[in-house]
Amino acid sequence: MFRSSSNRGDAMGAVRCVNRTVLPISREDARGVKGMSSVEFDLNRALNRLGGDRELLERVIRFVCDDSPQFLGQIDGFLDAGQFDEVERMAHSLRGLVSNVDCLSIERESRQIETLAREHDRLAIAKALPGLQKLVTELVERLGLVLCDFQAA
């Protein structure tokens, strides 16, 4: 199991890592412990899809951590501008991005926003966004810890 501690201000802040050990990815670390988190992901499946290439997995995780908050910001901006086609496109991009780490909860929420954008349902999207933002923030924080462990290994 990963043993990590970090100091994070927010999902887009820098990660500071202290005292971690890792190798290989355990089932609990890869999926998260049920009941402890609303975000689960499966890094073992992702690693298998990448042919066991841990360096490539690390790059994928970095993309998820860097781009997911940006996609959320764009969704919010396009929603404010009433550009529902762009909201749909950004939600679809977010869904595709997090699918690389098998994060089903964010995939599900993103798909819902895609559907609502096709229906031009601004109010429903606005109600759904805070939940999606919470999930993305948690995913980025947890993946940041995984990156710390990769760097220490």
Closest residue by Cα to residue 104 from 11, 41, 31, 27: 41
Any idea where the domains of the chain sit in the sequence?
3-152
Q: Using one digit for the tens of pLDDT, what is the confidence trace for 112-123?
A: 999 999 999 999
- Exposed/middle/buried for residue 55 (C-beta within 10 Å: 0-12, 13-18, 19+): exposed
Q: What's the CA gap between 17 and 78, in Å, rounded?
A: 35
Q: Which CATH architecture has domain 3-152?
A: Up-down Bundle (1.20)
pTM of the predicted model, to two decimals?
Answer: 0.77
60-83 pLDDT, tens per residue?
999 999 999 999 999 999 999 999
